[in-house]
Structure 1
Amino acid sequence: MVTRALLACCGSLRWAQRLADHRPYPDLGALLAAADEAAYDLTPADLAEALAGESLTLLPDGAYSAAHTALSAAHAAYESRFGHVFVICLDDFGPEEALDQVLAGIRARLANEPEEERVLTAEELRRLARGRISRLARTFDDPSGSRPETAESTDSGHPDSPYVPV
């Protein structure tokens, strides 16, 4: 059950098992540090496994069709070049900035060499996992399940995640 919860944070089985095997953690900071360390040790195969579990960004209801077209084209170009979905952590941006940040991020990163992009992708996955772990820990701290409205998002396929894989 713990491994399954951790897999929702990062889709690498080796990463999740490593964190589960080293429990208990004295506090959230120790867990996040262990998650970071495990993320830094992801092999290319681990990274591919984690990326396979990520999903594309869904635009908010009411987004105009040109945005859908631009985002679809950008995703297709990125996947064609690098062979996996584009991921980006948007925790520093509000929902109204997300689309612009995603499009700018994809366009900028399309110019990267594959090895450089692998490193950036791994860093974005690490950041995504940190946010997901933090939210998971909050659900254990708050059994009522109530969360601040600003933490909710359906973009990532991971409930209430402002860290959006796209």
Structure 2
Amino acid sequence: MPAHRLPDFPGRVAIPVPAQTRATPVAASSLARFNAAPADEAVGTLLSCLNSRHWAHRLASHRPYPDLPSLLAAADEAAYDLPPGDLAEALAAETLPALPEDTYAAAHTALSAAYTAYEARFGHAFVICVEGMAAHEALDHVLTGIRSRLANDPDEERLAAADELRRLARTRLTDTLTGAGERAGDH
């Protein structure tokens, strides 16, 4: 067994299992409700996906969206255009993903140390999207991501974090409108 892999013990996971990628279409009523919602309600929904007031107000002000792909395209564009202050606002709201109680102690220790080093270097939470990734791959992906991104200079890391936030917002927005709810492993 390679040194970077934890032993396979049934019933024990090293990182939460992300929900499988779904092709669940957005019910017309979900998108219609979002499009028709009062502005403050739509902004609140959007802020639960990405905590940037600028991003949320921009998307809410361009309603109605004819379909989910149009909304996601607008969300991507708005996320790419986040000024540094709005990016800092969004990053400040991100938290570490919760690991299940039966997670290996070694995984908690490794992740805690990596997160601490990352936050000390960049001053904000580490964000990474593990959407569609198998649980046994997610832990390695997260740890590899943190370790490789620790080598970034602050400007490079700001771009990497912004891209991960964009991906997280896209997943959260899709989940919100499909009724799938927040996925535990998307940080």
Mapping of residues 103-122 of structure 1, within 5 Å: 103-122=143-162
Question: Is 1:164 aligned with 2:179?
Answer: no
Distance, in Å, in 2 between the alignment partners of 1:65 and 1:162 is: 19
Distance, in Å, in 2 between the alignment partners of 1:160 and 1:112 is: 29
1:143 match: none
Distance, in Å, in 2 between the alignment partners of 1:134 and 1:163 is: 15
Instruction: Give the alignment partner of residue 5 of structure 1, picking from 23, 31, 45.
Output: 45
The two structures have a TM-score, normalised by structure 1, of: 0.84
CA contact (8 A) 1:12 1:46 kept: yes
Shift of 1:9: 0.5
The AA in structure 1 aligned to 2:186 is V
SS at 1:2 equivalent: helix
Question: Is 1:123 aligned with 2:163?
Answer: yes
2:91 match: 51
CA contact (8 A) 1:54 1:85 kept: yes
Structure number with greater CO (CA < 8 Å, separation at least 6) is 2
Shift of 1:136: 1.3
1:84 match: 124
Distance, in Å, in 1 between the alignment partners of 2:83 and 2:73 is: 18
SS at 1:88 equivalent: coil
Distance, in Å, in 2 between the alignment partners of 1:135 and 1:162 is: 12
Distance, in Å, in 1 between the alignment partners of 2:127 and 2:153 is: 16
Distance, in Å, in 2 between the alignment partners of 1:12 and 1:46 is: 6
Shift of 1:101: 1.3
Distance, in Å, in 2 between the alignment partners of 1:12 and 1:56 is: 18
Distance, in Å, in 1 between the alignment partners of 2:138 and 2:83 is: 29
Mapping of residues 19-34 of structure 1, within 5 Å: 19-34=59-74
CA contact (8 A) 1:88 1:163 kept: no
Shift of 1:100: 1.7
Render the CA deviation track for 1:66-115: whole Å, top value 9, x for unaligned.
Answer: 11111111000000100100000101312232222111110111011110
Distance, in Å, in 2 between the alignment partners of 1:90 and 1:162 is: 10
The AA in structure 2 aligned to 1:57 is P
The AA in structure 2 aligned to 1:116 is E
CA RMSD, Structure 1 to Structure 2 (Å)? 1.3
% same residue: 59
Unaligned runs of 5+ in 1: 140-146, 148-158
Question: Is 1:101 aligned with 2:123?
Answer: no
Shift of 1:162: 5.7
Larger Rg: 2
CA contact (8 A) 2:176 2:182 kept: no
